[in-house]
Amino acid sequence: MKRGAWHQCGDKSQRLVEEQLEAGHGVGVVLSPRDLKADALAAFAATYRGLGADVIVDTQFYVPDFSNKNLQTYTISKFRQSVSALHQISDPELSELSAELEAGTRAMHGSAVVAPAVLYEAGRHEIVQLNARLFGAAKSVGDALGVPTYATIGLAKSVTGATKTVTDALNAATALPADGWYYAFEFEDERIPSARDAVYRCCEAGLTLAATAKPVLHAYGGPMGLLSFGFGASGVGIGHSQNLWKFTRDRWEPPAPPGKRKPPPPRFFSQSLWGTIVYPDESVQLSATLRAAVLAPSTPFCGPVHATPPRSWSSWDAKKHMLCVQAQTFARLEKSKTARAAATAAGKQLKDAVALHARIKDARLKLKDNTNAYQENWRLALSDLLKHRSADFDYMEL
């Protein structure tokens, strides 16, 4: 698994990802059959490979009976059905699923096979059995093609709310003979996860996976990817929209009826705040000193922000800037000699972010959406991880 940022594709992101790769930002791409028809997915996979990226497909069985027009173009979609129905799948049907998965992986020259899996739920042993059978079908494909097979470990809210249920799910998942882990953690509904205990459990689970000495791709990591290399991940999924910033099964629920609403203003993703500030409504209120500290770094996508005088800036360019900043930051963190060193570096960055947010508060400015609500709790969660799981960090350094 290539180390660094992996672009987690979603709605309307394919060209954006291409542009990021052309600029040298990111090492891999996770393609989404939910958002692309089969022929388009194969075409974009070829484009991304030509730009030097590794490419994998998340088969997205999280809500296994969900379907849409894009998913219907994949032959593997005949197996999308309820968990109870999937539990009854026969061995010949599993062989057919395996054949369809192999054909799809060959068509897009995937660098690895991501095993189909439904979300692990607390107290649902039949899901453990189902995921083991689905993994077996995927592993035969990886072995036949000579590429790694990653087990999908999607932890549902019923699991992620307590340490015991997380441990139980991981004990089952890590018994699979996987070559790596494709890991997603479902949080409570929140723009960006902020609860210290929940963030700690996410990091602790990731550390448990990393301690198997197999690579971990933290799927749907988003801004929280700042912590990923600190718990030993090899890669982290980043995306342009909020429903790619963390794992949420809402992406596989029927869409709400479209309504008329005013487009939101662009937000500048600040590396020093490790958060966003509304441009220009909030940024214009900053003093020159604070503005210089907050509106950093400059990327090829934020020229209007740093122009004299500042100019109009599009929301799409704001999203490109955000991905660029995250990819650059994660490229730096993944070069840390150890996971402990990456955790320490992320903790230092968060400490500096908290201090800068305090300066903004002292200037009697309040940023929207509680964009300062999570940085200190993330820092504390990392500190807790370094303290309570020190032996695991020692083990990984051997």
* Residue pLDDT, tens place only, 171-207: 999 999 999 999 999 999 888 999 999 999 999 999 9
Q: Does the pTM of the predicted model rise above 0.85?
A: yes
Residue type for position 272: S
Per-residue model confidence (pLDDT) at position 159: 98
Give me the percent of the chain exceeding a pLDDT of 90: 89
At 342 the three-state DSSP class reads helix
Distance CA 169, CA 249 (A): 18
Residues of the chain with CATH 3.20.20.105: 4-252
CATH class for the domain made up of 4-252: alpha beta
With H, G, I as helix, E, B as strand and everything else as coil, classify residue 185: strand
What is the percent of the chain where pLDDT is above 70?
Answer: 98
Q: CB neighbours of 253 closer than 8 A, spacing ≥ 6?
A: 63, 66
